[in-house]
Structure 1
Amino acid sequence: MELDPNKFPIDQHLEDIRNELQEATSLLIKAETGAGKTTRLPPFLCQTRPGKILVLEPRRLAAKLSASRCAEILNSQIGDVVGHHIRHDKKASAQTKLLFITEGLFLPYLRQDPKLSDYSLIIIDEFHERSIHTDVAICLIRHLQKTTRPDLKLIVMSATLETDKLEEYLDSPKVFNISGRTFPITIEYPNLEVTDAIEDIIQQPQYPHNILVFLPGMGAIRKIETELKNRKIQEEIIPLHSTLSKKEQDKAFQGAKRKIILSTNIAETSLTIPNVSSVIDTGTERRASFAPWSGMPLLQLGKISKASATQRAGRAGRVQDGLVYRLYSQSDFGQREAFTPPEIKRVELSHYILDLIDLNLDPIEMDWFEAPEKKSLDSALSLLEMLGAIKRDHCSQMSQITEKGKFMANLPLHPRLGAMLFNHLSQDTLLAACTISESMALNKTAEFSSHDEEICDLSIQVDLLKSYFWKERDLSDYGVHYLDKKKASRILELYKNLASQLKLERTPAKSKTDPSSLALPLLDGFPDRVAHKRAIKKNKGKAKSSYNFCLGRGGKLSFRSSLMATEPDYIIVLDALENPKANAAIGTTIQAASKITKQELLMSDSSLLNSEKESLFNEKKGTLILTTHVKYGKLTLESQQSPSLIAKGEVLIQVLKDNWPWPFENDDDLSLYNQRVKLLDKHAIDHQCPLFEAEMFELFLESIIDEETSLEDLQKAKLKSLIQDQLSPQDQYILDHETPEKIELENGKSFKVYYDEEKPYLMARIQDLYSVKIHPTICQGKMKLNLKLLSPAERVAQIVSDLQNFWQGSWESVKKELKARYPKHHWPDSPETSPPIRVKSKL
């Protein structure tokens, strides 16, 4: 099939790829940028093989533009043979055979059809970017291939692939290495600002084509665009990022006039910009990460890897010899990491783990391409359990999704926000959840003056968004100095789409938000973020408005928080800046919070709400005062003290639990008993002796005390006798016979058995063991005792685990040493046949 007359490097490999795919399950394609892998291979396969094709792209703009280009090649309209589906934008039909989607939508597709029955081939593009969606997708596709869809084909494509690991993971697939169109490039490291670097390149006639500038985000793009316009640059200035309309995006690919294209890292590999002869690389990007406090996803500014820098530089050598300005030092480049760390190693995992559990998959046992860190996985599972999304069997490590978890998994929101909505679905709660989701740090949507008597930073944001939407009040009424209108629009767009999904009004409520109405939803979503105002005298010498957190440490309210005026006793901390090096009591700055009452915490069903009993016992009077503390995590909500109680019955049981081993001098008898029972278990001796540990220990205490048992009765009793009273005669016999406290040897002498080491032992003078040939054992002969052989001075001379071998072997050298030290004692040559010596012993 001839796609069009403009040949690309990949074109000569298309037939080979198609033929290989007929037999192979998976293929790897390592194609340099500009080789045509994204826009040539999918339409070719669409026309030459049966079934539908699903292409996973890491970015929305790449998915849309790639789909548009493929539709042009196939003389089709978007939505017909070729379609795209990105967040809130789907153009596809029953006729669509080639569908480009963003990776984040793959799980919803799989949830809708667990076998992906409509698709015969899945293509993962730009695998080297290693988003978490990519890692989850390839893992799930491999699972399908090994279970319900052995016929499903997979192609993994990338500009820079570490193929060794992938080849092993995909069972040694065929690898196609395809070069791009390249010319020599010159790389320089000038000490210039971005706009100065652009002007410098403009003045160089040998590089007459487009200038591609890599910037970390939209804020930087807008800043440089403004600076260039102020300098009256004649070239056309084209911003390129995912939020632009298609018409604005197309400007980067059309027209003959020289352009300065200001782009995020989307132009690094996902898109090929035509006619670029020079590249300016700022060396930075905004990487996916998460807010340490709230767990919300965010983008953090960071340095790009060497591999990314190489990809950016390669953009300059597609049409002629190219020039690259790296606006950082050469030594800086040399110290950068080789590849960008995969997202699965640096993002909060709870949303993705919940999706997998919803698909009846075990995230712990999954065949990951690169498994997440155990600490991150455990943290995600613990959070989901705390939020009520899953139930965990901590013995089998299996997790089961709950009804609440299914609700949360079906929302494109962090699980904390899904938990907010499950029991409190309303327009205001949904808008609040969307605000947290899109604002990342809550005080970044707008800058505003503090309000008097406010109890919720979030409700101010919600009301601000309502006013922006309805345009009924001037934003200055809220003391707003600056509003990020793009972010506000994104929040409202997210609200509109989720409202449709959840059957709510698509427009926010006009009425002012009741701040107290957000307390319980926020508690459901952030149960581990409760804090209590520190008492004034405990606050002495520390920052004002400081709080203790329910899981430990503490913090202080930021002056930006609207709660500064009221300083509620209890708050839910929604956003905070942690400084682990600072004083633990005030090391966190609370940037956004919401008031919650003690009564609301007491009525919570959170697993953090618990009660603890504290006892104060008077031994002389035999009385007890019980105090019950109701706690939320480490915070004490209230305490209730009982009147003085006589230590009898249940009260006495509580006294023993709190003061054990009192009233006994020690609990050596109990420790000895438990050690003997464990040996019976270890050597599979049939018995019914209970092991008095943990819950069984509490049952033991309850069994030795009835309603009439007094403290005086207990003080007269012997612990050993109380233990023996719990055993049947048969079990007492088994215990004494198989793990005896004393053992008689064949020469008629008896010795105590010590159980206080890993291996039980006897201690005996060497002379006491004369005439003993058989090594002593316990547990039906399954366990040999260690023999600690003592000198006449009762010092350990030898530890023996096989007495017969000792007599016949090393005894000769031991005998010589003993004979030299103790010449008056009898040291026979054959002690196993010599009669024992009668000596006085301290043992």
Structure 2
Amino acid sequence: MSERLPIEEALPALKKALAAGPNAVVTAPPGAGKTTVVPLALLSEPWAGGGRIVMLEPRRIAARGAARRMASLLGERAGETVGYRTKGDTKVGPRTRVEVVTEGVLTRMLQQDPALDGVACVLFDEFHERSVHADLGLALALQSQGLFRDDLRLVVMSATIEADAAARLLGGCAVVRSEGRMYPVETRYEERRTELSVERRAAATVKEALLRHPEGDALVFLPGGREIRRTAGELERLGLPSGVRVAPLYGALSPEEQDAAIAPARPGERKVVLATSIAETSLTVEGVRIVVDSGLSRVPRYSPRTGLTALETTAVTVASADQRRGRAGRVAPGVCYRLWTEEEHRRLEPFGEPEILATDATPLALELAVWGVRDPLELSWLDPPPEGAYKQAVDLLQRLGALDARGVVTPEGRRMAELGMHPRLAHMTLRAMENGRGDLACELATLLEERDAQSPGGADMRLRVEALRRGATPAAAKQREEAARRMRDAGVVRDGRPTAAADSGELLALAFPDRVAMRRANGKYVLAGGRGAEFAGDEPLSRETFLAIAELDGAGVDSRIRSAAPLSAEALRRVCADRIRTEDDVYWDAASASVRARRRTTLDAIALEETPAASPDPERVRDALLRGIAETGLQLLPWTKAADQFRKRLLFLRMHAGEEWPDVSDERLLETLPDWLGSYVFGMKSKGDLERVRLVEALEASLSWEQRRRMDEWAPTHLTVPSGSRLAVDYGDPDAPALSAKLQELFGWAETPRIGGGRVPVTIRLLSPAQRPVQITRDLANFWRETYFEIKKDLKGRYPKHYWPDDPTAAIATRGTRPKIPQGD
């Protein structure tokens, strides 16, 4: 008898939970056997009633492997009782009861039949990976269960997920825990950081480990296909012991190549598997006793700022590192070499971010629209999609014609969702099929979705298409096969010669309307969305006037162009006709301090053509002039002494006489320029013209007749003093208007004059006969009584010829040295 797997001890509790309620959560570490044991164990449960068990796996290779393993346990081949459905590869038959599905297959099943007729249970395996497909599938399945199928069982299975949170999402269901079984694994860290490349360090460590540990295979974790190919080259350069085979394992390889990597080594042979994170959990790579972990992973990151998703190489989390380490202890004691220091390990994040929070929300938004949901919060999520990213996704789908203005899916949007491509590529394919170029669209879609495939031709997508068509490498053959599958699925009919690769730019502009770009004078490009972009180095495409950019690295001020194709001016106008606008642009030119007019043809943020415009609309000229004043400031206006004084009087009145008086502060005047100044600048267009503006008249126009009368009374421009002089009032400080006068001119003025309807005393600046400041007061009576006599002593000594009376309140004021005494007195 074969040895019992740990998960089998948890099966009674799981069966009991599903007999009592529709949902359950299963937690079990890698190696417990949940992937292959649970689906078969549930087939005979009474509630299953002969229905199918559907299990979602996050990766194609894991789906095929799980189905084949379960089929072998039944003594069958995949496609009989147990089958699988993956993108481009399906093995199911009329007797199939267990279907292992991946990627968007479950979503398509739900979209086509929301009630999942004939399905008894949906299992979500490796849910801790939190792929956006798994999150979406669970959200849709929960709503299906609530609306149509209260008998549908849902089971979430995971190695590291927070079980309580998942259980709450599933209505407070039971949590079934299984203990794993793992042999001891020795962990070795690097003693110090090194500047060597990850490929050289990994290769050197593998060679050392094979010599030090004579038994078992090695599993090496690297971030992507590029690093895997380089590490394989390093191993070849270093030379490995005889009988050692190097096997790459990553998503872009053919199923046959992937199967060869996970198959047991032949007798007398040792195997070194160079893998991405694809081998972390759901896959079992037979015979591994040695793990070499680079500590790196490549994940998609979406930036709402740029609207782009880019693959980022990041440090693994503690949870991922532990998963990788555990691969060395499945069959016997093992060893794990970590290519980082213990200090670096202590700084790792404990868990990764769910994909739904970090990736492009456009496919998700389209699927929800097809489901009939405009607001994702109508569904239940562990983590709902971010609001900003989701809004950008909806905006893009509306631009692509997949959603209408209300956010409701269009017939075009439904067709796009059925293709199973990213909505950008689906839109490109459907539009290309209308004019017989569907073959090229499918080839471009293949190249853009094969992220880890080698890309001969640099950034030029035309050369990549030619390499796909003519290349003799296994990678090119695989791409041709994938492109042919896409053509079959889309219904592309090929008759005659293939579409010229030179048309790539026009098709890419359909997929990426926001990334159509025009070359600027400095050699960089401006995108239709307004952002900048440039090539990393010397690139032939950099001399093209127009580009349709497919891939961008969103980091930095100017994004880095990774792939693109040239776009002729004619093709641009044809593809983007609905977004091209020609209009006269009347604007304020700060350099010349004047209004300019130009006729501009634009594609969103791109200025395609610009010429001077003759006879611009006078109202638009006036509006542009007012905008220039608002941008530059009120100093652009001719503030004469009279205009400045008039404005300050109004400020004083508003402060002391109430809000019935207009607000003429800088902020308010700039906000209301069209209201108070618009009619006075009509026909003007420059700073020089503004010198003719009558600002006093413009400001006075906002006053009623009664206010104009009261203004002269409450905020007089001048006051007549006892000497008969008419002196100006200074409103520079609206809180304290002031009057400057020689002391002798105020003899006889017993009290401080008041303005503002008697509310505000005037500040008196008392001057000597030589016009020098002597005293400032707002209480003239107190000055005469308390201070005058002290000042008189000093002034009388300096100005003995002047008149210094003993009672200034009864004295005669004078403008001169002494008062003139009337004859006869």
Q: Give me the TM-score of the superposition, normalised by structure 1.
A: 0.67
Give the gaps of 5 or more residues in structure 2: 192-199, 589-594, 630-636, 638-642, 660-670, 683-694, 708-755, 762-781, 783-825
- In the alignment, which residue of structure 1 is the partner of 2:134? 134
- For the residue of structure 2 that corresponds to 1:382, the secondary structure is helix
- 1:532, 1:160 → 2: CA distance? 48
1:563 to 537, 541, 559: 541
1:421 to 405, 419, 429: 429
Q: Is the 8 A contact 2:53 2:123 kept in 1?
A: yes
Whether 2:63 is the aligned partner of 1:76: answer: no
Whether 2:527 is the aligned partner of 1:552: answer: no
Residues 399-454 of structure 1, C-alpha deviations (whole Å, 9 max, x = no match): 112233223222232222222233322665543453355346999844459xxxxx
Matches within 5 A, 1:712-791: none
Shift of 1:659: 5.6
Shift of 1:602: 4.5
- In the alignment, which residue of structure 1 is the partner of 2:768? none
- 1:439, 1:280 → 2: CA distance? 30
- 1:179, 1:31 → 2: CA distance? 6
Q: Is the 8 A contact 2:203 2:231 kept in 1?
A: yes
Whether 2:358 is the aligned partner of 1:346: answer: yes
Matches within 5 A, 1:433-832: 433-435=442-444, 437-439=446-448, 445-448=454-457, 457-468=460-471, 485-505=473-493, 510=497, 513=500, 515=502, 517-534=503-520, 539=521, 542=522, 545-556=523-534, 561-564=539-542, 567-577=543-553, 580=556, 587-602=558-573, 605=576, 608-615=579-586, 627-639=598-610, 644=615, 654=620, 658=624, 793-794=759-760
- For the residue of structure 1 that corresponds to 2:404, the secondary structure is strand
Q: Measured at CA, do residues 254 and 13 of structure 1 come closer, stay the same or move farther in structure 2, by a change above 3 Å?
A: farther
Matches within 5 A, 1:193-342: 193-204=201-212, 208-224=215-231, 230-235=239-244, 237-241=246-250, 243-245=253-255, 248-249=259-260, 252-253=263-264, 257=268, 259-262=270-273, 263-289=275-301, 299-342=311-354
Shift of 1:86: 1.0
Q: How many residues align?
A: 673
Q: Measured at CA, do residues 575 and 171 of structure 1 come closer, stay the same or move farther in structure 2, by a change above 3 Å?
A: closer
Equivalent residue letter for 1:95? R
**Aligned residues with identical type, % of pairs:** 26
- 2:306, 2:445 → 1: CA distance? 9
Equivalent residue letter for 1:335? R
RMSD: 5.4
Q: Which moved more, 1:224-233 or 1:329-338?
A: 224-233
- 2:350, 2:85 → 1: CA distance? 33
2:403 to 387, 390, 393: 390
Q: Measured at CA, do residues 392 and 193 of structure 1 come closer, stay the same or move farther in structure 2, by a change above 3 Å?
A: same
Q: Is the 8 A contact 1:413 1:437 kept in 2?
A: no
Give the gaps of 5 or more residues in structure 1: 394-398, 450-455, 472-484, 582-586, 618-623, 646-650, 677-693, 706-714, 725-740, 742-789, 796-820, 822-843
- In the alignment, which residue of structure 2 is the partner of 1:115? 115
- For the residue of structure 2 that corresponds to 1:400, the secondary structure is coil
- 1:21, 1:442 → 2: CA distance? 40
- 1:10, 1:442 → 2: CA distance? 36
- 2:247, 2:576 → 1: CA distance? 54
Q: Is the 8 A contact 1:463 1:513 kept in 2?
A: no
- 1:122, 1:440 → 2: CA distance? 28
Q: Which moved more, 1:74-83 or 1:268-277?
A: 268-277
- 1:533, 1:236 → 2: CA distance? 49
Residues 59-116 of structure 1, C-alpha deviations (whole Å, 9 max, x = no match): 1111111111111222333112111011111111222111001133221112221221
- 1:69, 1:521 → 2: CA distance? 43
Q: Is the 8 A contact 2:303 2:554 kept in 1?
A: no
Q: Is the 8 A contact 1:276 1:315 kept in 2?
A: yes
Shift of 1:601: 4.2
Residues 671-708 of structure 1, C-alpha deviations (whole Å, 9 max, x = no match): x9xxx9xxxxxxxxxxxxxxxxx9xx99xx9xxx9xxx
- 2:597, 2:228 → 1: CA distance? 66
Shift of 1:656: 6.1
- 1:66, 1:442 → 2: CA distance? 25
Shift of 1:146: 2.4
Equivalent residue letter for 2:466? D
Q: Measured at CA, do residues 212 and 592 of structure 1 come closer, stay the same or move farther in structure 2, by a change above 3 Å?
A: closer
Q: Is the 8 A contact 1:439 1:445 kept in 2?
A: no
Equivalent residue letter for 1:216? P
- 2:326, 2:454 → 1: CA distance? 37
Whether 2:384 is the aligned partner of 1:371: answer: yes
- For the residue of structure 2 that corresponds to 1:302, the secondary structure is strand
Equivalent residue letter for 2:605? K
Q: Is the 8 A contact 1:428 1:462 kept in 2?
A: no
Equivalent residue letter for 2:500? T
- 1:720, 1:172 → 2: CA distance? 73
Q: Is the 8 A contact 1:527 1:606 kept in 2?
A: no
Equivalent residue letter for 1:123? L
Shift of 1:559: 5.7
Equivalent residue letter for 1:312? R
- 1:506, 1:158 → 2: CA distance? 45
Q: Is the 8 A contact 1:442 1:575 kept in 2?
A: no
Q: Is the 8 A contact 1:598 1:637 kept in 2?
A: no
Q: Measured at CA, do residues 600 and 513 of structure 1 come closer, stay the same or move farther in structure 2, by a change above 3 Å?
A: closer
- For the residue of structure 1 that corresponds to 2:394, the secondary structure is helix
- 1:109, 1:442 → 2: CA distance? 26
Q: Is the 8 A contact 1:443 1:591 kept in 2?
A: no
2:417 to 409, 413, 437: 409
Matches within 5 A, 1:9-24: 9-24=6-21
- For the residue of structure 2 that corresponds to 1:391, the secondary structure is coil
Residues 209-245 of structure 1, C-alpha deviations (whole Å, 9 max, x = no match): 4443333344544555565563233355555455354
Residues 776-802 of structure 1, C-alpha deviations (whole Å, 9 max, x = no match): xxxxxxxxxxxxxx997559xxxxxxx
Q: Is the 8 A contact 2:456 2:467 kept in 1?
A: no
- For the residue of structure 2 that corresponds to 1:324, the secondary structure is strand
Q: Is the 8 A contact 2:30 2:159 kept in 1?
A: yes
Whether 2:143 is the aligned partner of 1:143: answer: yes
Shift of 1:258: 6.2
Equivalent residue letter for 2:206? I
Q: Measured at CA, do residues 512 and 84 of structure 1 come closer, stay the same or move farther in structure 2, by a change above 3 Å?
A: closer
Q: Measured at CA, do residues 569 and 61 of structure 1 come closer, stay the same or move farther in structure 2, by a change above 3 Å?
A: closer
Shift of 1:179: 0.7
- For the residue of structure 1 that corresponds to 2:31, the secondary structure is coil
Shift of 1:270: 0.4
Q: Measured at CA, do residues 512 and 185 of structure 1 come closer, stay the same or move farther in structure 2, by a change above 3 Å?
A: closer
- 1:659, 1:95 → 2: CA distance? 78
Q: Measured at CA, do residues 381 and 313 of structure 1 come closer, stay the same or move farther in structure 2, by a change above 3 Å?
A: same
Equivalent residue letter for 1:522? L
- 1:200, 1:445 → 2: CA distance? 29
Q: Measured at CA, do residues 279 and 377 of structure 1 come closer, stay the same or move farther in structure 2, by a change above 3 Å?
A: same
- In the alignment, which residue of structure 1 is the partner of 2:725? none
- 1:616, 1:291 → 2: CA distance? 33
Whether 2:165 is the aligned partner of 1:165: answer: yes
Q: Is the 8 A contact 2:6 2:178 kept in 1?
A: yes
